[in-house]
Amino acid sequence: MRHFPHPNEKARILETQLQNFLIASYQFSHDEYNALVDTATHFLFNYTLRPVWTIIEFLFEKPAARRDAAPAPSPVPEHRETIPQPSTEIAEQPVVMVKQSDIESKVAYLHSYQYLRNALLLHLDATGTMEISKEETDRFLRRVDHEVVARHNAGELVRLLSPAFSLFNFGQGKQLTSAIPTNAFVVFFDDKGRPDVRAHFETVRDAQGRPILSPAELYAELVKSFPPAAIQADPTPHTS
């Protein structure tokens, strides 16, 4: 489809229909299916706990690397594990620019943290650009994330972390109010560019010996890092 101008609406509709047909008709081998499930699992954990980094790697991965290289292994629920470092497998051969149409197709798969997806699409529409660089995308999304965290109170941040509680608890048949690994919050706030909050949860995890936290315990710890005047009581994770 590279020879068709993407601004042509008919060409874009045709490309979408062709992609949907190919996806629906594809037959997986047993090994390929297992590999893709493993990749998808790692992607889900990474996107839930470090959304900005994962979005960037997802949007700017090389086509040939999509089945051979996955994002960095997701953090396991082990309270003494160090923060996993992003994989360099994809970044070794970076894609410099990505088209708006490709971004629109990919972000459609991202359902949690919709503010990141929506902000990026609005940014592309507002600037009228048809493609964007990795550096600009990273800079823009981190600026958005910084503003979101800065404007949220402790209760809202607990609700923002609903995807993490859902990920760890739903698959095990637990209630969303069940405790999850403290390391999840270490990784989450590291991705948010808040080393102070990350360090606080490292202390909670290591010095205080608290490997897991419930939503109520998380709320109590966030109160120590965010202004009390902005706090709303009784935060509860939601599934949406």
Q: What is the pLDDT of residue 4?
A: 55
Instruction: Summarize pLDDT for 191-233 with one digit per residue, the tens.
Output: 999 999 999 999 999 999 999 999 999 999 999 988 654 444 4
Q: Which pTM value belongs to this model? A: 0.72
Q: What is the pLDDT of residue 160?
A: 93
Asked if 165 and 176 touch (Cβ cutoff 8 Å), the reply is yes
**How far is it, in rounded angstroms, from Cα 187 to Cα 5?**
41
The tokens of 141 are what?
A: 């999304």
Burial class (CB in 10 A: 0-12, 13-18, 19+), 89: middle
DSSP for 174-213, written as a single string: --TTS-EETHHHHHHHHHTT-HHHHHHHHHHHHTS---EE
**How far is it, in rounded angstroms, from Cα 71 to Cα 58?**
8
Q: What is the pLDDT of residue 237?
A: 57
**How far is it, in rounded angstroms, from Cα 135 to Cα 60?**
10
Q: What is the pLDDT of residue 55?
A: 95
Which residue numbers in the chain have pLDDT < 70?
A: 1-7, 63-95, 227-240
CA distances 120 to 61, 74, 104, 141, Å, are 17, 25, 10, 7
Q: What is the pLDDT of residue 217?
A: 96
